[in-house]
């Protein structure tokens, strides 16, 4: 990222919930240093310490926001220990997060990502809230146009979770995310569905359609969801509940 973005955007994804003021404390730290930032909440309801859920949220945010956006992701059970912090450049955007696998899903889905160790520290950070004391001021500085090199001079290999996009000739994929409605997103991209006529989960055979309205109420279907991945859904129902789907559940691709 060169120079200053005129209307910088900073997004936040955490497992802090919305009951406490932790999210607002991060926003105060950001706005104190970058008053013109537009701050957007991606989610603060990542399950506590759930790096897989956090990895899915940050990938979705990267797909949705324009170049120059800075994404701060805090799911950080290792705060205050020697775990590294990361600065990752991908899609012309920047991600700041602990190095515990949160970057995995973005790393798998987008090309040309580069990770750097975020070594900058303020004088007196708290031992328990690096989101506010380290990541927020770095995000604000980047939004202000400061070179990322100042904060993260060295390239590094990020930690990655055992989670990947299914290859084009895959015979089986898996559920990687379940949303509020009970729709289940898989790791199977549209390209891997060529020649696939249906999917099978356990003993259940599920047909592929274009949208929810293509099947009767209560019927299960597979479709390309808004993430560009195969999604398992039930029209006006919860696929997760009815089909007992979890993150990790295998999905057979019937060719």
Of 153 and 182, CB closest to its own copies:
182
Strands (E), 167-255: 172-178, 184-189, 198-201, 204-207, 220-224, 229-234, 250-254
CB 184 within 8 A of CB 232: yes
Of 9 and 254, CB closest to its own copies:
9
DSSP 81: S
CB 173 within 8 A of CB 250: yes
CB 231 within 8 A of CB 186: yes
- Is there binding between residue 48 and its own copies (CB under 8 A)? yes
Q: According to CB under 8 A, which one of 2, 3, 81, 157 is a site residue for its own copies?
A: 81
How do 250-254 and 70-74 pair as beta strands? unpaired
- Cα separation, 80 vs 217, whole angstroms: 50
Binding-residue pattern over the window 186 to 215 for its own copies, x denoting contact by CB under 8 A: ------------------------xxxxx-
Among 179, 143, 203, which Cα is nearest to 45's? Answer: 179
CB 113 within 8 A of CB 88: yes
- Is there binding between residue 64 and its own copies (CB under 8 A)? yes
CB 230 within 8 A of CB 173: yes
Q: According to CB under 8 A, which one of 168, 226, 242, 255 is a site residue for its own copies?
A: 226
- Is there binding between residue 242 and its own copies (CB under 8 A)? no
- Is there binding between residue 129 and its own copies (CB under 8 A)? yes
- Is there binding between residue 4 and its own copies (CB under 8 A)? no
Part in contact with its own copies (CB under 8 A); list of ranges 84-92, 94-102, 163-171, 176-184: 176-184
Would you tell me which residues interact with its own copies (CB under 8 A)? 6-7, 9, 11, 13, 16-25, 27-29, 31-32, 35-36, 38-45, 48-49, 57, 60-61, 63-66, 69, 77-81, 126-129, 132-133, 179-181, 210-214, 223-226, 231, 236
């Amino acid at each position: 990222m060169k120079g200053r973005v005129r209307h910088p955007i900073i997004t936040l994804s955490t497992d802090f919930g919305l009951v406490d003021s932790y999210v607002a404390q991060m926003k105060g730290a950001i706005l104190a240093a970058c008053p013109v930032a537009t701050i957007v909440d991606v989610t603060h309801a990542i399950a506590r310490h759930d790096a897989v859920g956090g990895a899915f949220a940050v990938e979705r945010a990267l797909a949705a926001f324009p170049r120059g956006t800075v994404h701060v992701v805090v799911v950080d059970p290792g705060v205050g220990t020697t775990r590294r912090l990361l600065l990752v450049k991908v899609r012309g955007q920047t991600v700041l997060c602990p190095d515990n696998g949160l970057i995995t899903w973005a790393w798998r889905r987008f090309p040309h990502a580069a990770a750097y160790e975020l070594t900058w520290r303020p004088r007196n950070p708290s031992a328990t809230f690096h989101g506010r004391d380290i990541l927020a001021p770095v995000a604000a500085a980047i939004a202000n146009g400061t070179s990322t090199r100042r904060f993260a001079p060295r390239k590094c290999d990020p930690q990655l979770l055992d989670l990947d996009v299914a290859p084009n000739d895959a015979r089986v994929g898996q559920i990687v995310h379940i949303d509020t409605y009970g729709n289940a997103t898989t790791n199977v991209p549209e390209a891997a569905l060529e020649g696939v006529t249906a999917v099978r989960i356990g003993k259940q055979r599920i047909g592929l359609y274009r949208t929810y309205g293509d099947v009767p109420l209560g019927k299960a279907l597979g479709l390309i969801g808004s993430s560009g991945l195969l999604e398992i859904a039930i029209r006006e129902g919860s696929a997760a509940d009815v089909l007992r789907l979890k993150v990790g559940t295998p999905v057979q691709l019937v060719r």
